[in-house]
């Protein structure tokens, strides 16, 4: 991808995880 001169490539990523409830969120947050 090319964001032009204002947005250079870096190693940052963003992940999305769909959870069924708070217990599942807590599980992934703690591990």
pLDDT of res. 2: 64
Q: Is the dihedral of CA 11, 16, 17, 19 positive or negative?
A: positive
pLDDT of res. 17: 92
Among residues 28, 30, 2, 31, which one has the least CA distance to residue 17?
28
pLDDT of res. 9: 75
pTM exceeding 0.85: no
CA dist list (Å): 12 to 1, 9, 15: 13, 9, 10
- Domain count along the chain: 1
pLDDT of res. 1: 58
Residues 29 and 31: their CA atoms lie apart, in Å, by 6
- Domain span at residue 5? 1-31
pLDDT (tens digit, 9 = 90+) per residue, 1-31? 566 777 777 778 888 999 999 999 999 999 9
């Amino acid at each position: 991808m090319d964001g032009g001169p204002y947005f250079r490539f870096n190693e940052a990523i963003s992940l999305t995880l769909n959870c069924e409830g708070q217990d599942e969120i807590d599980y992934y947050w703690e591990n």
